[in-house]
Amino acid sequence: MQQSDGDYQGRTLPRPDEEVVDQGLGFDLGTLFSRRSMLTALGIGTAAAGLTACGVSGAANETSGATGDGGLTEIPDETAGPYPGDGSNGPDVLEQSGIIRSDLRTSFGTGATAAGVPLELTLTIIDLAGGDVPFEGVAVYVWHCDREGRYSMYSEGVENENYLRGVQIADADGKVTFTSIFPACYSGRWPHIHFEVYPDQDSIADATNAISTSQVALPQDACDAVYATDGYQQSVSNLSRISLDSDNVFGDDGGVTQLGTTTGSVENGYQVSLKVGVDTTTEPTGGGRPPSR
């Protein structure tokens, strides 16, 4: 170690001919406290800032984690209705090669298009039995009526059409998204969209493979706005005679777990979303199979 020059950090050395480490206990204690003060000024302030940052980050992460799917319940099994088109009562669109699609507005084959206010439907399928995780890979079949309340493949005048029907495969987030139109309100039913969930794409060939069959209820404020537009006139009087509580499907709980979250407008179209809990450990009932034609 080098010799001192008579002072150290502005302090006079008591033993100028000795090295700094040999200046005695009193000098060493003074040096120690001087260094500690410096570390306090620099280190503790930095550490405190670091702890504050960690605290904010930790709180944010905790808040984010609180929005998980732990409280999600299984969506009720509902009837597929008399117009499923899944082969269970005759017509079967699921055996046709064009059924895997996101845009449901046009019939593949004839090219006819269903008119109406645009609607984008997003369903997020959650695997309850697998630990409330996204149900990647399941096939989701969606169908609903047109602006006049008719179902393709069944109703008079559209028996040869297959619009407003389609299948999507859930992505890594469990999501499927369909582009369609806002359905009518026909007599006796609250406005709704049908869907079936299958284990995978290959299993849609047989309707009995469905692991969940249910319906999405549409919010009244969106229905009121849409039904005030041209082409939906009959829906106004039909809606006035029905409610979520009196509907024969949603009436048992007012559709609390099936009511879609809706944003948008008549001018720009609507976006409807619903989180769907599916439990493969329970026996699907499908609400009973649809009547034969």
Query: Is pLDDT at 136 greater than 70 in this prediction?
Result: yes
Examine residue 230 and state whether it is found in any structural domain, yes or no: yes
What does the pLDDT average to over 9-24? 56
Query: Is pLDDT at 154 greater than 90 in this prediction?
Result: yes
122-133 confidence digits (pLDDT tens): 999 999 999 999
Is residue 129 domain-shared with residue 46, that is, in the same domain?
A: no
What does the pLDDT average to over 136-161? 98
What does the pLDDT average to over 96-114? 97
Examine residue 289 and state whether it is found in any structural domain, yes or no: no
Is residue 165 domain-shared with residue 266, that is, in the same domain?
A: yes
β-pairing verdict for 212-217 and 139-143: unpaired
Q: Residue 71 has what pLDDT?
A: 85
Q: Are 74 and 279 in contact, with CB atoms under 8 Å apart?
A: yes
Is residue 182 domain-shared with residue 40, that is, in the same domain?
A: no
Is residue 132 domain-shared with residue 270, that is, in the same domain?
A: yes
Q: In 3-state terms, the chain is what percent helix, strand and coil (to 5)?
A: 25, 25, 50
Higher pLDDT, 3 or 51: 3
Is residue 254 domain-shared with residue 172, that is, in the same domain?
A: yes
Query: Is pLDDT at 15 greater than 90 in this prediction?
Result: no
Query: Is pLDDT at 153 greater than 90 in this prediction?
Result: yes
Domain count, the chain: 2
Is residue 4 domain-shared with residue 112, that is, in the same domain?
A: no
Is residue 140 domain-shared with residue 273, that is, in the same domain?
A: yes
Q: Residue 23 has what pLDDT?
A: 53
Examine residue 286 and state whether it is found in any structural domain, yes or no: no
Is residue 29 domain-shared with residue 133, that is, in the same domain?
A: no
33-81 confidence digits (pLDDT tens): 343 343 333 343 433 333 223 333 333 332 222 233 558 999 999 999 9
- List the Cα angle 8/13/19 in 5-degree steps: 80
DSSP H/E element including 8:
strand 7-8
What does the pLDDT average to over 174-183? 99
Examine residue 18 and state whether it is found in any structural domain, yes or no: yes
Is residue 115 domain-shared with residue 229, that is, in the same domain?
A: yes
Q: Tokens for 111, please give them.
A: 């090219």
- List the Cα angle 268/271/272 in 5-degree steps: 150
Higher pLDDT, 28 or 93: 93
Examine residue 161 and state whether it is found in any structural domain, yes or no: yes
Examine residue 175 and state whether it is found in any structural domain, yes or no: yes
Is residue 44 domain-shared with residue 108, that is, in the same domain?
A: no
- For residue 182, what is the domain's CATH number? 2.60.130.10
Instruction: Note every long-range contact of 109-115, with CB atoms under 8 Å and residues 24 or more positions apart, other chains counting.
Output: 109/160, 109/162, 110/160, 110/161, 112/161, 112/163, 113/163, 114/146, 114/147, 114/152, 114/163, 114/164, 114/180, 114/181, 115/146, 115/147, 115/181, 115/231
Query: Is pLDDT at 26 greater than 60 in this prediction?
Result: no
Domain holding 9, by residue range, is: 1-67
Q: Residue 17 has what pLDDT?
A: 58
Examine residue 82 and state whether it is found in any structural domain, yes or no: no
Name the least confident of 4-8, 49-53, 106-110, 264-268: 49-53
Residues 74 and 135: their CA atoms lie apart, in Å, by: 13
Q: What is the pTM of this model?
A: 0.76
Examine residue 259 and state whether it is found in any structural domain, yes or no: yes
% of the chain beyond a pLDDT of 90: 72
C-alpha dihedral (229, 232, 238, 243), degrees to nearest 10: -60
Is residue 115 domain-shared with residue 222, that is, in the same domain?
A: yes
Query: Is pLDDT at 248 greater than 80 in this prediction?
Result: yes
Q: Are 157 and 88 in contact, with CB atoms under 8 Å apart?
A: no
Boundary of a domain, candidates 67, 82, 104: 67
Is residue 20 domain-shared with residue 160, that is, in the same domain?
A: no
Mean residue pLDDT of the chain comes to 83
Q: Residue 34 has what pLDDT?
A: 44
218-229 confidence digits (pLDDT tens): 999 999 999 999
